[in-house]
Structure 1
């Protein structure tokens, strides 16, 4: 836990005013989940991902998505080498520990789908050959919600469901923004020194420890009741999947581990519910006219009784 505390402290110095988001990203790293960062341009999404990657001694790759990026640019390609007269494998950027998928909604659906196998099964298939990805492997994707429809391709439900968290990054507070312009004035972010605070082996140990965090059967029941309530709500067309239910359990375990506890509480579930669930909900046409997904989720949270036993 000491190295985890050091990594968290370093990230909070490098990325001003994003303590909660950094906690969620650390939970995703520990549990092998993926994160979608969504915010207006210039809010520091890319710098946050680069600072996060630099704080761990693993491999880091970045893809700047544009409409002309091909699936082979992501997963890799097998090419003919005229010198050796043989076909050789050239792995793509997915062969890494942390992949930054910058502006993922600028990629075509065909290219977006090339990430599906890697995100779910931690492997890539190139010309019929399946290659395992490094362990750990997580994707941090960014997208701008205010982009015009021309040249962008909204992520389909199947892609969104593979992200453990979607984090909406708002504008910083006044004092935080003042710190940003003072700290980064004349010292651009790419020149800041980032030293690894933990190794890949440390991350693997954290994952094992987080997996041992106890989940009481009442907590399991509570999570399933929340999940099933999203499927029955009249304003929701597509509720939470079984993958989402598992994501809630893993995220709650990660939150408990970050707090130094060996058991999950109802408050852990409530804390991680929004970033796990909101992007997975699809409202009906009528529901979209009168509701926001977050408001519907809050209504469901209020309607499901929370366990009251002492955990």
Structure 2
């Protein structure tokens, strides 16, 4: 053990800056494998390009060589990617970004890979977009490539954090920084060419229980069998996939793009749909508030306000368990929560 700590294991005494430090990223001699691989790649690039040459001179040289616009655009994207990678390596102390093989904290478990988490800068930006700029959750999720449920959780936790900070509570900041340093992070760098890095798939469709069965449904060849028809085959109340996905606006944008609409027309149609959704939500909230004011009576108390609402006894349903019935939310309490109940078995049959 001491031989390993003085040899290959000494790389784990001080973790890499801005990077994970797992066993799978090193060879048996304690050398970082991706650093050696990246040095060879830089040597190959150095033979073909001039790093001190500015962008204007490169473009002029490519024009003199007679390259077409497609090739020039591809070369420009490659150069921008190389600049971003170089900036990231400088921030990480010359260490390149982890590969998939480097994200295995347990060398004997090849199936497990450490998943990235949101960086502190990205979480702060999500909170700002929702609370300060008043953007809705689906738009923020689609823009930053973060699941809409994760965006909502980040906003809730950030709100609590801001409240604790205003109350003067002490945070475990060193512990949080140490944990984040051991995990891959999804960054947010607004000053770079690509400020937003997608964090996860945001439009995955969960498997509905009604679709788990295998059905052979005969259909005419002259009939156009759509997703709506397929949903009705599984269940009459099942919505099609286009309406069950978390962000259906992405499907609409892609459909309009395939139809040949310009970017301005797509943005205009999307804005019209967003305005219609916001108007319908505001109208629904207005009707709910009006219904509460019409059916509820508020009695002012010394410490609390008591709300009384009219309930119809006819809404219990056929089995007496209708969702509008009195006590529907509370259900039947467990017997083991009653005082004096025996909670351990007294006999074995």
Normalising by structure 1, what TM-score? 0.23
Please identify which structure carries the higher strand content.
1
Q: Which has the higher contact order (CA 8 A, sep 6+)?
A: 1
